[in-house]
Structure 1
Amino acid sequence: MATPALSVEQQIKQLDDARKLVLSDSSHYPLIIQGILPIVATPARVELRRWVADFLAETFASPTIASSQKETMSLIVLETLKNLIENPSEDAAVVKSVVQTAASVYPLVFRWIINNPHDTMTWERMLAIKSRIFRIWDTAAPGVRICCIKFAQRVVLVQTKGPDADPRRGGSLEVSLSMVPPDHKLIPPKSLEAEASGLLDRMLAVFQENISDAVLVDATLNSLSILIRARPHIANKILNVILNFNPLKQANSPMTPKLRVMVKSMEKTTRSLLVHILKRDPQNPLGPRIQQYVERMMRSRNDIFDEASRKRGAPEPTDGLDPAKRQKLGAQVANATPKFLVPPLTPGPHTIAELFTVTGDEALKAFDVAQLSEDLVVKIGITILQRIDADTLKQAVEGVRQRYKSLGASQAELLNPETAPLGVDEDDDDYEPDFSTAETEEQILNKLDIISPDPEKVNAPDMALGHFTLPQPPPLTLLQATEVGQGTVLRVFGVMQTLEEKIKKTKGGLNRLAASAFDRDAWITILTRLATRTLTGLENTDEAVKPEPSDLEQESLANMIRESLRRYIIEDFRKRIDVAIAWLCEEWYNDQVQTKASENAVLHYEKWVLKVMDGMVPYLDASDKNVLIRFVSEIPGLSPGVLERLKELCRNPATVTIALMSLLFLHMQKPPARQMVLGAVEDIWDTYEDARPFTLKLFAKHIPGLGDRGKIEDVKKETNGMEAIAA
């Protein structure tokens, strides 16, 4: 029995379920793509073709998929994209998604062809897609044309010279013409560069023609921003064209609402692009010209749009005998602001609220403004001040002033000059008598005490409190001090691990300020100096001198910091190798200072440099060449113990290369250590036979007779082998 065919809605529901699957796990993308491509291989419903095209565009634009996986899938979908875009009756939404997919796929296919020049079929499919996109660029729907601009921008980016791609990042924008060999058969660099130059001119033509379509202009401006940033050698050409473009030119024609929106959009996009360029590169040679262009554009915009939004003022009367004009003037006089009267205060005491209340509405007087929030009162006050008439405000202020004067005059009349207290002037209008209640018996007695004080009380001794001092806390024991110090160090390391690492070009060396910035380097400097410099002069091996408990506490704290630093470095020594070098330089400097101060000084550098190496050596592999060379070359002291650790690396065939290259670097860059290095190389030759070929390759010209020694060893092996066979 045949299975009934599914409807379009059911098929799209199944496809949506597949999409949810790949969004949760990107490893299913290749399988799903191979399963949906046959849907559009034969004539299918337009809904299904739209879904497949949208899914492909979303897949190759997804950042969760690795670049290598995208490159493999791009070879699979090329034929489908070619068939869809070459169909002249294809749906516009399908074509739009196909062009978006092609823009994402082009750098991937380009990189594949660079590494596989024999794959002619793949490149021909890509050329067919590119040719079709360029043909429909000028005649397609606006949405498709925007996608064509994006595709053209990606082609220019790939077919122009730029920095070499970093394989560790895998970004599609890193593919450039610099990766193409000069003698490549399928993609000759000169032809591609010429095509990119012509394509860039075609993109810039939108600014040189009278095109009022703001959608195309904005799309082109947004695409050019990436080219200006990623390809500096063509940035000046693009900027010169943009600076000659006037987005407000269309404003000279009759201003319709649609044209107004389009002109504003083009002006804003152009200005935003130029301002962004100035922020990214303030030292740009075209900076002054860009600044002038932006300022001129803002002034022109204000003149055009603000002038159009202003209302035309009323015409002034030219003929006083015109009846119509006289009617308008009479209306203005009738609508003039009436005189604002503030009623005077009634006799008697008044509150401040009554002084400043100018309204006669009893209901409004009874309203309590304190019920409103402060923000609402401020907003109401600002709105009233903005809209109130100036004459009305002046009349209200004058009325309050008259009230204040009358109130002051009435209060001055209440004072009797003969009974007025001392210190009160008759002309002082600001005086307000204190209508207090009758004094109590206790207040009267206090006044009598002041007038006639008791002699015994006067001669009484001073009853001020003496100096009070808190008792000293009990001293901490050695164990308590160690625990507190360990907790402090752990908190410092916790803060340090959360700070963002900042790369600095220059540093002040050993004399730099330790806390000059709140970053990781500042905390590292503080910790290393706490571990090294705080104990200078405290450590002594003389038996006659016994260390104090405080000295033992500091020594224990210093060793605890050193151990914490070692663990912090070993946790991620590849990224924290600079911390190890800075710390060991401080230890070496401290040892030198203490050696000059005392012959019996305790040295720490040799001990901790070997501990750091013992933590690093088990985890080194062939890719850590730069880490190891930097470490052994930048530590200030090279000892036999360090060379022993390098020789131990020759036991493992995976690390023999980095060990010998580190020794070669020390031999070439550190002349005082050459004899020690050559001795270590000879020990490696005698001990590890598997390391001899690489040792002979690197040190043949530095160790005379090393090649002959290799031949002698081979002869000995052959002789021993023949003797064994004969026996």
Structure 2
Amino acid sequence: MATPALSVEQQIKLLEDARTLVLNDANYYQQILQGILPIIDPVGRAEPQRSEAGKVELRRWGADFLAETFASPSVQAQQKETLCLIILEMLKTMIENPSEDNAVIKSVVQTAASIYPLVFRWIINNSYDTSTWERMQAIKTRILRIWDTAAAGVRMCCIKFAQRVVLAQTVGPDADPRRGDPMEVNLGMVPLNHPLLTPRNLEAEASGLLDRMLSIFQESISDAVLVDATLNSLSILIRTRPQVANRILNVILNFNPLKQANSPMTPKLRVMVKSMEKTTRLLLVDVNKRDPQNPLAGRIQQYVERMMRSRNEIFDEASRKRGPPEPTNGLDAAKRQKLGGPVPAPVPKFHVPPLAPGPHTIAQLFTVTTDEGLKAFDVSLLNEDLVVKIGISILQKLNADTLKQAVGGIRQRYDSLKAVQLEVLNPATAPLGIEEDDDEYEPDFYGAEDTEQILNKLDSAPSIVEKVIEAPDMAPTSFVLPPPPAMTTEEVAQIGQGTVTRVFGVMQTLEEPAKKTKAGLNRLAASSCDRDDWITIITRLATRSVAGLEELDGNIKPEVNSVVPASLSNTIRESLHLYVLEDFRKRIDIAVAWLCEEWYNDKVQMKLGEEAVLHYERWVVKVLDGILPYLDGRDKVLTRFLSEIPSLSLEVLGRVKALCRDPAMVNLALTSLLYLVMMRPPVREVALDAVEDIWDTYDDAKPIAAKYLTKWRPGFAERLKEGGEEKKTNGVAVPV
């Protein structure tokens, strides 16, 4: 019994399952693709009984799957190159069918745009495969023929296909795997004697296609979709093909996307013009951002500015004709005088109600809210730090006018309380012997008193001043902040370290001087506000800030490796040391300047007094110890450092001699010492002693050391002759 045929819906469901499989694992693409091709066959040889509608549905799905496959980044380029050879015949059949569905044609053109560089690369390396190139040429011819007559969606894909053809058939950068695009294809890869590909013809075809793409800017085309698609395709050509970039930009700069705005402005036309203008502007801005020094940068900037002004004039014309909107709540205050209307007084934003009669506390005086809930809240329950943070936040966000009105309201309250305090009874007119709170007092019932009675009552009555209840004195007084708490030694050191860190942070933001100027010894230490001046300030803070104030331990010169007590100067020295070692090759001049200041300070201190704390020797050895492990045989930093520091000791030369333990560093150590011999006569003998010590100690260094000693120490050759033997090391005879 024959197996019943599956419906189109069932087949598409199975195809979707296969698509899900390859999306999860790209290794199955080749197997799934070969199994899908018979099902989506445009001729329908697999199932002749299938309806035409069913065939179209399957072809749509198949074309979309092919476009997705060759545009997917998860599929390797080598795998795509193999798969594209399998589908060429099917693509050719679909594209050449005059009655093919537009959705199928669109996906086929997308697939062709993705595989054209792959086929082009295949033909470059396999010139015998004539049939594959003929199929690709037939597909290309058909796409270029339907470019101007197809639907808008198909024409967009044709523009993309033309862009890929221009990219492949023009000279570009060589393939370089380090750029992340090992499958780069361009005309420069085609051999001159290729039997199928002629570079001259291919380049001419690419130039013609580029002109055809640019022709859209010279025609009265109102389809913004095609213009935007062309601009987006040209952006890649401008970036990857510099030889045609100026040609493209000149055409775009002569294009006016706002030209159609002169016609009656419909909503559709408005959207289209805005889209073309924005795409053009963004493309040109991106070109200037990528290459600000390009020869057309000035024209591009002028074009963009002119376009933005024109856009504002066109699309903002309606609002400008209507003028500013009228006020909705009555007449505007600025027009009151012209219209004759009275200008209302400004309503206060904040009102402080006056205090009711009676005694009041300080809290009531400064309470400006009318909310009873807030009045009842006890602020003392909150933490002091939280109250301070809340207060600072409120003051930062508070309006200045509101604050002024609140202060003015409290000032009025204070003035009213002050006036009430001054209202006391006048003792000359008040009745004597009568209490103020006696409600039964009737002055008409008392007879007149003579002078003697009045004097007796005055003697026995208490003073009226004692009965006056004085209001609390609320006169403003001066406020003094409490003194800060005493700081421990550790806190002082920590704060000092933070200060030094901020000082070096400022140095990181300064620029290096554009030109080194030599003003001599009479120059100012910091006159140009650059990094060198800041370095000078820092080094002098380290060397001179506490000079002569340091405590001695009984020795004039401390040991190099001794522990130095923490101080601001030593903290700056440590920071300078770390700053130099971070990039000692570029900052060796900073190290030399710093050590020169240290040496000068040591000399001044030794001259001023018999006892002094010396720092130069310790820090020059420490800097040298930090540099030596990172040197190689070709470095010149060591030679420069030894030649520019003001003083050389035996310990410094001992560090240089120790470099000869590594055979690769022998030449560097001896060359540096030879430079000292030649250019610093005061240390010539000490440097020659170091070279002779190297000759005695290290066998790998004997040939070079003997050569230098023979030239600069004539007695060295005589001593060898007196020894009666010719010194040989590593099979090389030493000249004597």
- The TM tier, using the shorter chain, reads 0.5 to 0.7
Partner residue of 1:153?
A: 163
Number of residue pairs aligned between Structure 1 and Structure 2: 453
Residues 490-522 of structure 1, C-alpha deviation per residue, up to 9 Å, x if partnerless?
A: xxxxxxxxxxxxxxxxxxxxxxx9999x99x95
Counterpart CA distance in 1 for 2:487 and 2:418 is 52
TM-aligned CA deviation for residue 142 of structure 1: 1.4
The answer (yes or no) to whether the contact 1:67–1:170 under 8 Å persists in 2 is no
Partner residue of 1:53?
A: 63
2:84 is aligned, of 74, 81, 84, to 74
The answer (yes or no) to whether the contact 1:584–1:609 under 8 Å persists in 2 is yes
The answer (yes or no) to whether the contact 2:228–2:279 under 8 Å persists in 1 is yes
TM-aligned CA deviation for residue 188 of structure 1: 0.9
Partner residue of 1:100?
A: 110
Counterpart CA distance in 2 for 1:216 and 1:285 is 28
Partner residue of 2:266?
A: 256
TM-aligned CA deviation for residue 299 of structure 1: 1.2
Residues 660-704 of structure 1, C-alpha deviation per residue, up to 9 Å, x if partnerless?
A: xxxxxxxxxxxxxxxx9xx9xxxxxxxxxxxxxxxxxxxxxxxxx
What residue identity is the alignment partner of 1:145?
A: R
What residue identity is the alignment partner of 2:281?
A: R
| 1:597 maps to 2:653 | yes
TM-aligned CA deviation for residue 24 of structure 1: 2.4
Partner residue of 2:557?
A: none
Q: Map of 1:154-169 to 2, 5 A cutoff?
A: 154-166=164-176
- Counterpart secondary structure, 1:38: coil
Partner residue of 2:662?
A: 606
Label 1:23 to 1:403 Cα distance change in 2 as closer, same or farther (>3 A). closer
TM-aligned CA deviation for residue 222 of structure 1: 0.5
| 1:413 maps to 2:419 | yes
- Counterpart secondary structure, 2:37: helix
Label 1:585 to 1:595 Cα distance change in 2 as closer, same or farther (>3 A). farther
Residue identity over aligned pairs, in percent, reads 57
Partner residue of 1:532?
A: none
TM-aligned CA deviation for residue 93 of structure 1: 1.4
- Counterpart secondary structure, 1:186: coil
1:212 is aligned, of 213, 217, 222, to 222
Partner residue of 1:179?
A: 189
TM-aligned CA deviation for residue 195 of structure 1: 1.0
- Counterpart secondary structure, 1:15: helix
What residue identity is the alignment partner of 1:25?
A: D
Structure 1 unaligned residues grouped into runs of 5+? 317-328, 386-392, 419-432, 438-464, 471-512, 527-550, 566-581, 611-638, 642-675, 680-727
TM-aligned CA deviation for residue 66 of structure 1: 2.1
Partner residue of 2:427?
A: none
- Counterpart secondary structure, 2:316: helix
What residue identity is the alignment partner of 2:82?
A: T
Counterpart CA distance in 2 for 1:248 and 1:404 is 63
TM-aligned CA deviation for residue 7 of structure 1: 1.8
The answer (yes or no) to whether the contact 1:161–1:178 under 8 Å persists in 2 is yes
Counterpart CA distance in 1 for 2:341 and 2:376 is 30
Residues 70-128 of structure 1, C-alpha deviation per residue, up to 9 Å, x if partnerless?
A: 11111111111111111112121111111111011000111111122222111111111
What residue identity is the alignment partner of 1:606?
A: D
TM-aligned CA deviation for residue 307 of structure 1: 2.3
Structure 2 unaligned residues grouped into runs of 5+? 45-53, 327-334, 380-389, 425-469, 475-484, 491-534, 536-573, 587-617, 643-649, 667-697, 701-728
| 1:230 maps to 2:286 | no
TM-aligned CA deviation for residue 305 of structure 1: 1.4
The answer (yes or no) to whether the contact 2:369–2:375 under 8 Å persists in 1 is no
Q: Map of 1:103-502 to 2, 5 A cutoff?
A: 103-166=113-176, 171=181, 174-310=184-320, 312-313=322-323, 345=354, 348=357, 406-407=412-413, 409-414=415-420, 416=422, 435=472
Label 1:47 to 1:352 Cα distance change in 2 as closer, same or farther (>3 A). farther
The answer (yes or no) to whether the contact 1:248–1:267 under 8 Å persists in 2 is yes
Counterpart CA distance in 2 for 1:201 and 1:148 is 14
TM-aligned CA deviation for residue 604 of structure 1: 6.4
The answer (yes or no) to whether the contact 1:251–1:260 under 8 Å persists in 2 is yes
Label 1:239 to 1:587 Cα distance change in 2 as closer, same or farther (>3 A). closer
Using the size of structure 2 for normalisation, the TM-score is: 0.52
Label 1:223 to 1:436 Cα distance change in 2 as closer, same or farther (>3 A). same
Partner residue of 2:529?
A: none
Label 1:337 to 1:163 Cα distance change in 2 as closer, same or farther (>3 A). same
Label 1:434 to 1:38 Cα distance change in 2 as closer, same or farther (>3 A). farther
- Counterpart secondary structure, 1:65: coil
What residue identity is the alignment partner of 1:283?
A: Q
TM-aligned CA deviation for residue 229 of structure 1: 0.7
TM-aligned CA deviation for residue 280 of structure 1: 0.4
Moved more, 206-215 or 337-346: 337-346
The answer (yes or no) to whether the contact 1:152–1:199 under 8 Å persists in 2 is yes
Residues 49-71 of structure 1, C-alpha deviation per residue, up to 9 Å, x if partnerless?
A: 11211111111112222222211
1:89 is aligned, of 78, 94, 99, to 99
Label 1:216 to 1:121 Cα distance change in 2 as closer, same or farther (>3 A). same
**Structure with higher helix content:** 1
TM-aligned CA deviation for residue 137 of structure 1: 1.1
- Counterpart secondary structure, 1:118: coil
- Counterpart secondary structure, 2:155: helix
Partner residue of 1:459?
A: none
Residues 396-447 of structure 1, C-alpha deviation per residue, up to 9 Å, x if partnerless?
A: 99998986775464245246599xxxxxxxxxxxxxx98489xxxxxxxxxx
What residue identity is the alignment partner of 2:55?
A: R
Partner residue of 1:30?
A: 30
Counterpart CA distance in 2 for 1:108 and 1:346 is 90
Q: Map of 1:565-584 to 2, 5 A cutoff?
A: none
The answer (yes or no) to whether the contact 1:50–1:93 under 8 Å persists in 2 is yes
- Counterpart secondary structure, 1:174: coil
The answer (yes or no) to whether the contact 1:106–1:155 under 8 Å persists in 2 is yes
Counterpart CA distance in 1 for 2:633 and 2:325 is 87
- Counterpart secondary structure, 1:5: coil
Label 1:10 to 1:584 Cα distance change in 2 as closer, same or farther (>3 A). farther
TM-aligned CA deviation for residue 133 of structure 1: 0.8
What residue identity is the alignment partner of 1:597?
A: L
The answer (yes or no) to whether the contact 1:146–1:219 under 8 Å persists in 2 is yes
The answer (yes or no) to whether the contact 1:595–1:601 under 8 Å persists in 2 is no
Partner residue of 1:506?
A: none
Counterpart CA distance in 2 for 1:199 and 1:45 is 34
TM-aligned CA deviation for residue 251 of structure 1: 1.3
TM-aligned CA deviation for residue 185 of structure 1: 2.6
Residues 440-463 of structure 1, C-alpha deviation per residue, up to 9 Å, x if partnerless?
A: xxxxxxxxxxxxxxxxxxxxxxxx
TM-aligned CA deviation for residue 196 of structure 1: 0.9
TM-aligned CA deviation for residue 228 of structure 1: 0.3
Larger radius of gyration: 2
Label 1:522 to 1:202 Cα distance change in 2 as closer, same or farther (>3 A). farther
Residues 240-266 of structure 1, C-alpha deviation per residue, up to 9 Å, x if partnerless?
A: 111111111111111111111111111
- Counterpart secondary structure, 1:161: coil
